[in-house]
Amino acid sequence: MLKPGATIGILGGGQLGRMLAMAAAQLGYRCHIFAPEADSVAADVAAQFTNAAWHDRDALATFAQSCDAITYEFENVPVEPLAALPAGLLAPGTNALEVAQDRIREKRFVEQLGGRPAPFAQVDYDADLADAVEQVGTPGILKTRRDGYDGKGQWRIDSAHDALGIRIPATGCVYEGRVAFECEFSVILVRRRDGAVRFWDSPHNTHEGGILATSTLPAPPIIGAQVEAARSLASRVAEKLGYVGVLTCEFFATSNGPVFNEMAPRVHNSGHWTIEGAVTSQFENHIRAVAGLPLGDTSSTAERVVMENLIGAHALRLDRHLADPRAHLHLYGKAEARDGRKMGHITRVG
């Protein structure tokens, strides 16, 4: 159990790291951010900041010496340099990164645990694509195997004709059938080192252009009916990985039950509502798990909670957001409101 005043290292410098650092501060911990970009919104609220490349081994070793525990807020941290970290310092482990960084490996991993992803085929080279489309059928989505997020690195394929001329990147792709879903939801759990697991209520998530737009509780009945099966899969994933911290699995609710979309080995945008809408937020419980503290209660504090992302220039309508007495406004401190950039979010409870 980390003592008050201990330092938690966070790999990654975005808004998830920022909200983790704020939760850590509330519990009496200091945070040290390690990130390759100089303008880190997590570093703005942390005690220390190392601005270095992921592969800078010296910088990583010095960073590790200053930390009593290390976690990550970004699933694409390269795994290889992390192998040099002292054993037991990093939670969750690198095995969760290895699975989540590769869409094919992730789908196979989940299948082995009895989960059901969308039908898919591996596409390593340009010449593989036509066969993959033939095998899986249309409509489908071609996704880069690695480094995709928020709908980036994806091509929608409505007919075999759409697949003509697409150049497959060197790291390969996966072609998956488009799932005819009723709606989307996520399972967010927290697991302690001793295996204790808790779940938050599962929100109904809507996306715009591949980016999360809203998370709403209560979720419609179709989600309620599928949450148990989805939780069971998510807890098998966590157990198999010996996972410590918050883990998110995203699902499509279909007329045939839940279809696994993807996992994130970290706190998740669809869990931001837990800051005001749950007894203990995802950020606090992640820090508790990493620090070896008892987990907090994950119950919702109201029946109705709505989280709305502020994306791009939307975030700039501050007068309107501040005039709404029920809106809990969170701004991440990013200077530039580029299109598609997550600038903040609003949560309304009750």
Give contact residues for ligand AMP (rule: CB under 6 A).
Answer: 118, 141, 143, 148, 151, 176, 178-179, 184, 207, 210, 250, 261-262
Closer to ligand AMP at the Cβ: 9 or 265?
265
Closer to ligand AMP at the Cβ: 176 or 308?
176
Closer to ligand AMP at the Cβ: 262 or 308?
262
For residue 173, give the 3-state DSSP assignment.
strand
Closer to ligand AMP at the Cβ: 50 or 261?
261
CB of 118 to ligand AMP, least distance (A): 4
Residue with tokens 């070896």: 292
Closest CA to 105 of 262, 268, 253: 262
For residue 221, give the 3-state DSSP assignment.
helix
Alpha-carbon distance of 113 to 100, in angstroms, equals 15
CB of 84 to ligand AMP, least distance (A): 30
Q: Which residues contact 61 (CB under 8 A, 6 or more apart)?
A: 84
Alpha-carbon distance of 112 to 99, in angstroms, equals 13
Closer to ligand AMP at the Cβ: 105 or 207?
207
Closest CA to 193 of 245, 145, 148, 234: 245
DSSP string, 314-347: GGG-HHHHHH-TTEEEEE---S---TT-EEEEEE
Closer to ligand AMP at the Cβ: 43 or 174?
174
CB of 73 to ligand AMP, least distance (A): 17
**Inter-residue contact 248 to 268 (CB < 8 Å):** yes
CA distances from 330 to 244, 263, 307, 348 (A): 27, 25, 11, 11
Strands 173-177 vs 140-144: parallel, antiparallel or unpaired = antiparallel
Which two three-digit tokens encode residue 191?
A: 């697991």
**CB-based closest residue to ligand AMP:** 179
Closer to ligand AMP at the Cβ: 36 or 117?
117
**Residue 294: is it exposed, middle or buried by C-beta count within 10 angstroms (0-12/13-18/19+)?**
exposed
CB of 309 to ligand AMP, least distance (A): 13
Residue with tokens 């929608």: 156
CB of 254 to ligand AMP, least distance (A): 10
CB of 262 to ligand AMP, least distance (A): 5
CB of 25 to ligand AMP, least distance (A): 31
